[in-house]
Structure 1
Amino acid sequence: MPTGERWVQKISSTRTFARIAPHFIPSLDRAVHRLTRGRVLLSARMLPGLILTATGAKSGRPRRTPLACIPEGDGSWLLVGSNFGRPGHPSWTGNLLKHPEAEVSWRGQDIPVRARLLTGAERERAWRAALEFWPPYAAYQARVEREIRLFRLVRRMP
Structure 2
Amino acid sequence: MGVAADLSYALPRATAVHRAVRSVAATRPGAAALARTLPTLDRTVARLTRGRTTACALLSGLPVLVLTTTGRRTGALRSTQLIGVPVGDTVALLGTNFGQAATPGWVLNLESDPRATVGHGPRTVAVRARAASPTERGEVLALAEQVYVGYPRYFTRARHRRVRIFLLENATGDGA
For normalisation by structure 1, the TM-score amounts to: 0.89
Which residue number corresponds to residue 38 of structure 1? 51
Separation in 1 of the partners of 2:44 and 2:148? Answer: 25
Give the RMSD, CA atoms, in angstroms: 1.8
Instruction: Please say if residues 57 and 98 of structure 1, whose CA atoms lie closer than 8 Å, have aligned partners that are also in contact.
Output: yes
Which residue number corresponds to residue 120 of structure 1? 134
Which residue number corresponds to residue 22 of structure 1? 35
Separation in 1 of the partners of 2:49 and 2:111? Answer: 30
Which residue number corresponds to residue 107 of structure 1? 121
Q: Following TM superposition, by how much is the alpha carbon of 1:35 offset from its aligned partner in structure 2, in angstroms?
A: 3.8
Q: Does 1:137 align with 2:151?
A: yes
CA displacement 1:50-95 (0-9 Å, x = unmatched): 1111001111110011111123441x21111111011111111111
> How does 1:43-54 map onto structure 2 within 5 Å?
43-45=56-58, 46=60, 47-54=62-69
> How does 1:55-134 map onto structure 2 within 5 Å?
55-74=70-89, 76-134=90-148
Instruction: Please say if residues 48 and 70 of structure 1, whose CA atoms lie closer than 8 Å, have aligned partners that are also in contact.
Output: no
Instruction: Please say if residues 30 and 65 of structure 1, whose CA atoms lie closer than 8 Å, have aligned partners that are also in contact.
Output: no
Instruction: Please say if residues 23 and 149 of structure 2, whose CA atoms lie closer than 8 Å, have aligned partners that are also in contact.
Output: no
CA displacement 1:27-64 (0-9 Å, x = unmatched): 12123323433322231232121111100111111001
- Name stretches of at least 5 consecutive residues in structure 2 with no aligned partner: 1-13
- Name stretches of at least 5 consecutive residues in structure 1 with no aligned partner: none
- Runs of 4+ residues over 6 Å off in structure 1: none
